[in-house]
């Protein structure tokens, strides 16, 4: 199986985090998001341990909440010693309500409104990751009103194409994010930041893309960013204390995806950083990385109930489930691959091929096409879609006024609801 938190039990049912998914579907109803807390902790520890082995003191990994954001996640991340990255007041507020210390939070986004900036400063956000000169000037002004000197990182575009899909490719010069080195704008904004009264420039940030397997991508971006740090030392006499290399390590959605050794990757990145710092005679910066997907993706699994099977002779077969693009829009958006099983028929031969489709009024509402399934698949069976912990719940919607599924957390053989199922009343909550 693609992750070691999956197995088949004596009843021929799919087990996740050691628990029978068919029983969980019965107990909590479907559609249902499951989250394996022990797997999240394991994934956090891979980063935390690698950081303490390979990077300078004061370096730490932060969790990118956009991958999956609800209160319980922040409690786990905090217990595991990670910081967090937030991109909106909604994410920030979730972190605050979970008791997450905001001094370990980095506030991203390419368009922070004045209200966003005001709220973040009032709640003592650790760092802003500043995307543009307009935003930099606005933060300086609002920080002055609060009589604070606000710590920031500048988001720099290193000009790297990491060979991932276009929507998540963010490190190229032609990007809505950051200031590019190639155009001279990165150098210019650094000069501006250094002069502002209420800004403390604490270093630089870059993020080249998501679902990246090529370890060379991170080494190249470290290389470009360290050269930039050297150039800023030469130009302004400024030595950046922090270098944030962003997130992006890929995960396995299917058996065809490569296994990525994150510890080894981080050791390679650290080797590059040490080499460059020595060569350029610059102090080793504190390193921050902000993984999202690789912390939560394989800790998630979604359960559905089959409603109907449609066999269209000489065309295609459809298996309709009780969720769809509302709880997982990734196939509709990116054509993303997933592995799916009939969870109550794990030992049966897969002699049938079908598209698993959702219940929305839209033909593109597909979870996955051409999935091998047992031909006995029928109404009432449980479908499990694996590796749904990242960018599923966080990208879910109420299209067709479908209520969002609950999240049930699994740990040490126990299960409990950490996000409630939306009700019909929730659906009309804001209607007047
Ligand atoms: N830092 C920044 C600045 C980011 O933009 C992102 C992701 C991350 C960190 C975390 O990257 P990760 O480790 O999760 O790859 N909705 C898309 C993914 C969008 C990623 C956006 N930025 C998907 O479902 O594949």
- For residue 116, the CA-to-ligand 1 centroid distance in Å is 21
* Percent of the chain with pLDDT strictly greater than 90: 94
Mutate which of 206, 292, 330, 388 for ligand 1 pocket (most atoms within 8 A of beta carbon): 292
pLDDT level of residue 373 (50, 70, 90 thresholds): very high
Nearest atom in ligand 1 to the alpha carbon of residue 129 is: 3
Reading across the β-sheet that carries 14-16, which strands appear in turn? Answer: 6-8, 14-16, 19-20
CA–centroid distance, residue 373 to ligand 1 (Å): 31
Pocket test for ligand 1, best of 67, 91, 130, 210 (most atoms within 8 A of CB): 210
Q: How far is the CA of 170 from the centre of ligand 1 (A)?
A: 9
pLDDT digits 0-9 by tens, 57-67: 999 999 999 99
Please name the residue whose Cα sits nearest to atom 9 of ligand 1: 247
Q: What is the pLDDT of residue 174?
A: 80
Answer yes or no: is pLDDT of 220 > 70.
yes
Q: What is the DSSP string of 38-91?
A: HHHHHHHHHHHHHHHHHS-TT-EEEEEGGGS--HHHHHHHHHTT-EEEE-SHHH
Atom of ligand 1 minimally distant from the CA of 333 = 24
Which pLDDT band holds residue 170 (cuts at 50, 70, 90)? low
State the pLDDT at residue 225: 97
The residue annotated as part of the active site, out of 3, 147, 206, 361, is 361
Tell me the angle at which helices 262-280 and 215-236 cross, rounded to the nearest 10 degrees.
30
Share of the chain above pLDDT 70, in %: 98
DSSP for 178-221? SEETTTTHHHHHHHHHHH-TTEEEEEEE---BSSB--HHHHHHH
DSSP 329-348: -HHHHH-----EEETT-TTS
The number of the ligand 1 atom at minimal distance from the alpha carbon of 290 is: 9
Instruction: Give 165 Cα–ligand 1 centroid separation in angstroms.
Output: 12
List, for residues 110-168, the tens digit of each pLDDT value: 999 999 999 999 999 999 999 999 999 999 999 999 999 999 999 999 988 766 655 66
Residues in the chain: 432
State the pLDDT at residue 165: 59
> 218 C-alpha to center of ligand 1: Å?
14
Inter-CA distances, 411 with 230, 313, 322, Å: 46, 45, 26
Grade residue 173 by pLDDT with cuts at 50, 70 and 90.
Answer: confident
Identify whether 277 is a catalytic site residue. no
pLDDT digits (tens, 9 = 90+) for 233-281: 999 999 999 999 999 999 999 999 999 999 999 999 999 999 999 999 9
Instruction: Go through the domains of the chain in sequence order and give each one's CATH number.
Output: 6-36+297-427 (2.40.37.10), 108-291 (3.20.20.10)
pLDDT in tens, 298-339: 999 999 999 999 999 999 999 999 999 999 999 999 999 999
CA distance 183 to 204: 17
Pick the atom of ligand 1 nearest to 246's CA.
1
Q: How far is CA 370 from the centre of its chain?
A: 27
Predicted pLDDT at 407:
99
Mean pLDDT value across residues 170-196: 91
Residues contacting ligand 1 via CB (< 6 Å): 64, 66-67, 85, 108, 168, 170, 207, 210-211, 246-249, 290-294, 330, 391
Which residue lies with its CA nearest to atom 16 of ligand 1?
A: 391
CA 148–ligand 1 middle distance (angstroms) = 30
Ligand 1 centroid distance, CA of 213 (Å) = 14
**Closest CA to ligand 1's atom 21:** 168
Q: What is the pLDDT of residue 204?
A: 98
Report the candidate in 77, 106, 85, 65 with the shortest Cα–Cα distance to residue 202. 106
Of 43, 169, 293, the residue with max ligand 1 atoms within 8 A of its CB, to mutate for a pocket test, comes to 293
The answer to whether residue 82 scores a pLDDT higher than 90 is: yes
pTM over cut 0.95? yes
Interval between CA 249 and ligand 1 midpoint (Å)? 9
Q: Per-residue pLDDT tens for 67-76? A: 999 999 999 9
């Amino acid at each position: 199986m693609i992750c070691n938190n999956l197995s088949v039990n004596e009843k021929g049912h799919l087990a996740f985090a050691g628990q029978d998914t068919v029983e969980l579907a019965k107990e909590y109803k479907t559609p249902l998001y499951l989250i394996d807390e022990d797997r999240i902790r394991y994934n956090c520890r891979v980063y935390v341990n690698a950081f303490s082995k390979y990077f300078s003191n004061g370096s730490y990994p932060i969790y990118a909440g956009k991958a999956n954001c609800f209160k319980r996640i922040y409690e786990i991340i905090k217990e595991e010693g990670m910081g967090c990255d937030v991109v909106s007041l909604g994410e920030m507020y979730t972190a605050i309500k979970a008791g997450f210390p905001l001094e370990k939070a980095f506030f991203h986004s390419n368009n922070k409104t004045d209200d966003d900036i005001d709220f973040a400063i009032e709640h003592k956000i650790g760092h802003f990751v500043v995307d543009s000169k307009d935003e930099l000037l606005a933060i300086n002004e609002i920080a002055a009103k609060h009589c604070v000197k606000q710590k920031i990182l500048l988001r720099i575009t290193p000009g790297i194409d990491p060979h991932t899909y276009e929507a998540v490719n963010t490190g190229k010069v032609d990007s809505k994010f950051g200031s590019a080195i190639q155009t001279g704008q990165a150098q210019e904004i650094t000069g501006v930041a250094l002069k502002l009264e209420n800004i403390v420039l604490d270093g630089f940030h870059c993020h080249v893309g998501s679902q990246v397997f090529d370890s060379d991508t991170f080494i190249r971006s470290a290389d470009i960013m360290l050269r930039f740090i050297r150039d800023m030392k030469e130009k302004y006499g400024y030595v950046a204390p922090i270098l944030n290399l962003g997130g992006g390590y890929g995960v396995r959605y299917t058996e065809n995806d490569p296994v990525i050794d994150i510890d080894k990757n981080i050791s390679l990145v650290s080797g590059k950083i040490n080499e460059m710092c020595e060569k350029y005679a610059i102090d080793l910066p504190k390193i921050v990385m902000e993984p999202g997907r690789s912390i939560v993706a394989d800790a998630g699994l979604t359960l559905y109930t089959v409603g109907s099977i449609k066999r269209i002779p000489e065309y295609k077969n459809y298996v309709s489930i009780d969720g769809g693009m509302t709880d997982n829009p990734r196939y509709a958006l990116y054509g993303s691959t997933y592995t799916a099983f009939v969870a109550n028929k794990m030992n049966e031969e897969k002699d049938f091929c079908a598209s698993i489709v959702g219940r929305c009024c839209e033909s593109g509402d597909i979870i996955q096409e051409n999935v091998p399934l047992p031909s006995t698949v029928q109404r009432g069976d449980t479908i499990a879609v694996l590796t749904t912990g990242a960018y599923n719940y966080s990208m879910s919607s109420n299209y067709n006024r479908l209520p969002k599924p609950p999240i049930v957390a699994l740990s040490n053989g126990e299960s409990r609801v950490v996000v409630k199922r939306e009700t019909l009343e929730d659906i009309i909550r804001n209607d007047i």
